Amino acid sequence: MQHATEPAPLPPNRTGAVAANTIWDIMGDRTDNSAGDSGAAVNDPLLTTPTARLMALAMGTDIRVVDLPADHSVGLAGLVGIGSDEDGEPRSTIGLTDDLDDDLRADVLAFGLAVLVGTPEVLAESPDGILGISKERLPQADNGPGNLAWHMLQTCGRESPSTTFRLMILQSDD
């Protein structure tokens, strides 16, 4: 049985393999940051949804969250990765597909955050440091990033059926 955090090859999809050369381009686009700073408080009363609270947590820990076009990521709910910024400094990024409803968006964001803070070593399984996050929920994990994500969501006021997703190594078009 495959552990939920072990990367698995991305299955073929109707658009072919994920275009690995465009992933870095997509993950380089920043989502709207209307606050304009990285010091947002997670307990701010204006952050009324679990997604907003998790976005504030990501900003407060310098994790960039970007939107991914769903047509470039068929079968994926998102991406999680560690790379470098323009100055060569390490940069953690979570990409969320733009077709997720708010509940699934919160669950995938929490899982991505949990991977980055709890098990970042799994990203070394991928040649480019980026793993896909499947849209398919796995049974709720009793440990690991799925369990950590569940606790984050509970703190943010969300009850979720499962916050455990499969991580996948992305296949290049080349």
pTM equals: 0.75
In the chain the beta strands, taken as DSSP E runs, fall at 8-9, 63-68, 76-84, 90-97, 130-138, 164-169
Reading phi first (left if > 0) and then psi (alpha if -120 to 50, else beta), residue 88 is in: left
Six-digit token string for 67: 């939107």
The whole-number pLDDT of residue 168 equals 94
Of the chain, the end-to-end C-alpha distance in Å amounts to 30
Taking the C-alpha atoms of residue 122 and residue 140, their distance in angstroms, rounded to an integer, is 19
pLDDT score recorded for residue 127:
87
At 105 the pLDDT is 96
**Looking at residue 1, what is its pLDDT?**
33
Structure tokens at 151: 């606790």
| Mean pLDDT for back-to-back runs of 10 residues, the chain (174 residues) | 43 38 43 40 67 92 93 91 88 95 96 95 91 95 95 92 94 67
Contact (CB, 8 A) for 51 and 59? no
Q: Say if CB 80 and CB 126 are below 8 A apart.
A: no
